[in-house]
Amino acid sequence: MTERGKRFNYRDASNFKVGPSDLHWNGQSLEINIKERAVPFGQKVIGKVKVHPEQLFNYSVPLDAQGKHRWGPLAPTSRVEVEFTEPQLKWSGHAYLDSNEGDEPINRPFLEWDWARSLLKDGSTAVMYDVREKNGREYLLALKFNQDGSITNFELGSRQALPKTMWHIQRHIRSDKTKVAVIQDLEDTPFYSRSILQSIWLGEEVSCMHETLNVPRFSATIVQMMLPWRMPRLT
C-alpha cells in the first residue's frame, strides 16, 4: 500500500478515498475498493473487499495515561468477502474491524504492546490489549464484545513469553493456562510481528490473531529509512 498526503484524501459521511482506492458504507456493509501497486516490483493489486458486520459498536478507550491514543472495535464480529482480479484471489470468512487514532506519534508514550483477538464459541469476540509505556505503566484490556451489543470484561491469566521472531522480537500473550503455542507466523518485520496462536481464554481453547509492536525498533533510524521502500509515500 501507499501512504498518501492530504491532497490525495477525501472523506464524507459514507465515503473515504485514498488515492485511487476508496471505502464506502452502504448502510449494511463496508465496501473497500483497492487499486494499488505492490513492492518491490510495482505489480498491480486490484480487488474488492466487503465487510458485513454482525453487530456495530460505538466504543472507544484510551490506551495511554494521557488519553492521547484511543482504540475501539467497530465491528469485532463480521463476515468478509474478498475478490481480487490482480492477483486472481477469492475467499470468504470471519472478519474483524477496529479503529486506532492518536494525537501524537506512537513513539512518545509507548514501549511495546501485545494485542490479540479470538472468535469464541458463543459467536462473541474476545480482545486483549497488553500495553507497556515508557514511564513503566502497564495497562491490560480484556474485553468480550457480545452479539447482543453488550461489552463485558473478562479475566486473563499471567503473561506468557512466546518464542522470539526471526528479528528477535519478544512476543507475549496472556492465557488462563501455560498452554500457548505459535501456530503460524504471518508477518515478521524488524519492529512488528503478526501470528496465529493457540491459547486458553474463558476456559476455551482458542485460536488467536496476535500482534506485537516494538516501538523502539520502529523508531530506529535505520528502520525509518527502510519504511518508504516497504510502503511508498506521496505527499
Digit-coded pLDDT (tens) for 50-87: 999 999 999 999 999 999 999 999 999 999 999 999 99
Which pLDDT does position 49 carry in this prediction?
98
C-alpha–C-alpha distance, residues 74 and 59, integer Å: 7
C-alpha–C-alpha distance, residues 25 and 30, integer Å: 5
Which pLDDT does position 214 carry in this prediction?
98
Which pLDDT does position 82 carry in this prediction?
98
Q: What ranges make up the beta strands (E) of the chain?
A: 3-4, 9-11, 15-18, 21-25, 30-37, 44-53, 61-62, 69-86, 89-102, 110-119, 125-133, 138-145, 151-153, 159-161, 172-174, 181-188, 192-201, 204-214, 233-234
- Percent of the chain past pLDDT 90, that is, above it, reads 91
Q: Is the pLDDT of residue 178 over 90?
A: no
pLDDT digits (tens, 9 = 90+) for 34-44: 999 988 888 99
More confident: 114 or 179: 114
Residue of 137, 162, 173, 143 whose CA lies nearest to 71: 143
Handedness of CA 167, 69, 226, 185 (dihedral sign): positive
Which pLDDT does position 120 carry in this prediction?
97
For 135-149, 166-180, 208-222, which range has the lowest pLDDT when averaged over its residues?
166-180
pLDDT digits (tens, 9 = 90+) for 6-48: 999 999 999 999 999 999 999 999 999 999 998 888 899 999 9
Query: Mean pLDDT throughout 136-155?
Result: 96
Domain residue ranges of the chain, discontinuous segments joined by +:
3-234
Query: Mean pLDDT throughout 222-228?
Result: 92
Which pLDDT does position 143 carry in this prediction?
98
Mean pLDDT of the chain: 95
Residue 151 CA: distances (Å) to CA of 47, 79, 126, 162, 201: 34, 20, 10, 28, 16
By the 10 Å C-beta count (0-12 exposed, 13-18 middle, 19+ buried), 132 is classed as middle
Query: Mean pLDDT throughout 105-130?
Result: 97
Q: Is the pLDDT of residue 232 over 90?
A: no
Which pLDDT does position 188 carry in this prediction?
96
Which pLDDT does position 230 carry in this prediction?
86
